[in-house]
Amino acid sequence: GWISFPLGSDGPQALFHNGGTGGYRSLLAVAPERQAAVVILSAQARSVDRAGLSLLTRLLRTVEA
């Protein structure tokens, strides 16, 4: 399922879904009201959640500027 939460205290609502199997990990993070998204596909078993959400936050800051 999708997880919904705000990006920061005053940021837009974001949705994300992650997964993994056989040593691979993935993440899709979306900020629908800002029409922005990040996809990470990794060939490592380590989580990509923090990296993906950080990238989405940075992307949204860049779009605002």
Q: Domain residues for 52?
A: 3-64
Closest C-alpha to 18, from 37, 33, 35, 40: 40
Quote the number of domains for the chain: 1
* 61/47 Cα distance (integer angstroms): 23
Residue 10 reports pLDDT greater than 70: yes
**Per-residue confidence (pLDDT) for residue 65, from 0 to 100:** 58
SS3 call for 15? strand
pLDDT band at 13 (very low <50, low <70, confident <90, very high): very high
**Per-residue confidence (pLDDT) for residue 55, from 0 to 100:** 95
User: Model confidence over 19-58: pLDDT tens digits?
Assistant: 999 999 999 999 999 999 999 999 999 999 999 999 999 9
Residue 8 reports pLDDT greater than 90: no
Q: Read off the pTM.
A: 0.85
